[in-house]
């Protein structure tokens, strides 16, 4: 039995890849079966999952989209394992060698932590994640998708390159209403449907935009943290964790479940943004009647203000409209925050 095991392992060693010194076709049982090593369970459509709990940027989705270039480790979201520490002068490169990261319909989710000690030099908009690389001198932009961060206003811009490249050379995009706060973990989700780009922040559907064209995929690598074309001009440092790529549209409840904890004990579906810098009459009509209403004073104090701060909505306007309030001449515009109908 021992001889057979040695021969079997030797054969696997002979066929091992550069990444693996030994490859096995089945599970491994240890201590008489007390411990069993098996592949991870995989969600439907998951083609890339990078936990950054190892030092090689391994893909735990089973699609073998392992990183060819990685970065150092940082503290993780949730306190278990590690994150990827982006210093502003490096990036993670993940080749799309088997084409599984080139879907016309897709969803990308990840956690990001941006500190407040940032370098003010360089470009205003810098990539947090981008599938593809830009060549500005040739007016070539590969962004399927790309998530850019505004270093001044702390907003996000999610790009998707389409076949309407004359009208939208840099790709069609949606800009977040949320402003990413410093020094806290924020969950980001980008969903590409057939005709829309949906941007989720902390599980809340923050912004949606319709597109004129169809998705134009590319075979370039997925870059996380920066890209070769922006490396010299985007010295942005941050932590990134739990990056996932799906070749399908995620349902809203799936993103809410993945982002659980981003808003404390408050569920993402409980709060919706109605409008920004709007008058009271518009605020009252901005909430979907069948599911939400303009928050009452009690609802704002118990949940609304906390969510508004985490989302950065109060940076737009410090005045928040209250249900059954009267318009104040000193605050003609405000923010409408909608709370879930519980009755």
Average pLDDT over residues 309-335: 82
pLDDT band at 1 (very low <50, low <70, confident <90, very high): very low
pLDDT score, position 326 = 65
pLDDT score, position 11 = 35
Whole-number mean pLDDT of the chain? 91
Statement: residue 152 has pLDDT above 90: yes
Could you give all domains of the chain from N- to C-terminal order, each with its CATH number?
2-37 (no CATH), 46-258 (2.60.120.200), 268-340 (no CATH)
Statement: residue 3 has pLDDT above 60: no
* Buried-exposed string 159-184: b where 16+ CB fall within 10 A, e elsewhere: bbbbeebeebebbbbbbbbbbbbeee
Statement: residue 99 has pLDDT above 60: yes
Average pLDDT over residues 217-221: 97
Average pLDDT over residues 10-19: 45
Cα–Cα distances in angstroms (integers) from residue 80 to residues 142, 241, 242, 308, in the given order: 34, 11, 11, 27
What distance in Å separates the CA atoms of residue 332 and residue 289, rounded to the nearest whole number? Answer: 23
Whole-prediction pTM value? Answer: 0.90
pLDDT score, position 331 = 58
Statement: residue 24 has pLDDT above 80: no
What distance in Å separates the CA atoms of residue 72 and residue 67, rounded to the nearest whole number? Answer: 13
Compute the C-alpha angle 45/48/49, nearest 5°. 110
Query: 287 near 281, Cβ under 8 Å?
Result: no
pLDDT score, position 10 = 36
pLDDT band at 19 (very low <50, low <70, confident <90, very high): confident
pLDDT score, position 49 = 98
Give the residue, 79 or 271, on which the prediction is more confident.
271
pLDDT score, position 330 = 52
The 3 state secondary structure assigned to 206-244 is EEEEECCCCECCCCCCEEECCCCCCCCCCCCCEEEEEEE
Average pLDDT over residues 180-205: 98
Q: Provide, for the chain, the percentages of residues in helix, strand and coil under a 3-state DSSP scheme, each rounded to the nearest 5.
A: 15, 35, 50
């Amino acid at each position: 039995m021992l001889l057979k095991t040695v021969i079997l392992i030797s054969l696997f060693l002979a066929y091992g890849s550069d990444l693996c010194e030994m490859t096995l076709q089945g599970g491994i049982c240890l201590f008489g079966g007390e411990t069993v090593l098996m592949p991870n369970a995989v969600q439907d459509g998951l083609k890339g999952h990078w936990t950054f709990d190892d030092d090689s940027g391994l893909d735990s989705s089973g699609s073998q989209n392992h990183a060819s270039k990685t970065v150092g480790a940082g503290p993780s979201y949730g306190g278990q394992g590690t994150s990827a520490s982006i210093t502003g002068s490096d990036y993670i490169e993940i080749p799309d060698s088997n084409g599984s990261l080139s879907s016309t319909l897709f969803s990308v989710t990840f956690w990001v932590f941006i500190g407040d000690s940032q370098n003010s030099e360089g470009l205003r908009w810098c990539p947090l994640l981008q599938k593809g690389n830009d060549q500005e001198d040739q007016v070539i932009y590969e962004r399927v998708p790309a998530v850019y961060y505004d270093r001044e206003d702390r907003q996000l811009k999610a790009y998707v390159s389409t076949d309407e490249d004359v009208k939208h050379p840099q790709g069609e995009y949606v800009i977040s209403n949320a402003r990413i706060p410093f020094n806290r973990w924020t969950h980001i989700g980008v969903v590409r449907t057939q005709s829309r780009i949906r941007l989720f922040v902390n599980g809340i559907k923050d912004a949606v935009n319709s597109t004129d064209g169809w998705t134009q995929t590319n075979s370039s690598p997925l870059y996380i943290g920066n890209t070769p074309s922006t490396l010299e001009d985007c010295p942005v440092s941050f932590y990134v964790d739990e990056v996932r790529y799906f070749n399908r549209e995620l349902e809203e409840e799936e993103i809410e479940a993945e982002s659980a904890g981003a808003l404390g004990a408050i569920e993402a579906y409980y709060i919706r943004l109605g409008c920004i810098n709007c008058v009271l009459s518009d605020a009252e009509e901005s909430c979907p009647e069948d599911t939400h209403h303009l928050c009452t004073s009690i609802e704002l104090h118990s949940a609304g203000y906390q969510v508004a701060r985490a989302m950065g909505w109060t940076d737009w306007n410090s005045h928040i409209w209250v249900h059954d309030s009267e318009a104040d001449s000193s605050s003609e515009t405000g923010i409408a925050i909608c709370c879930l109908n519980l009755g």
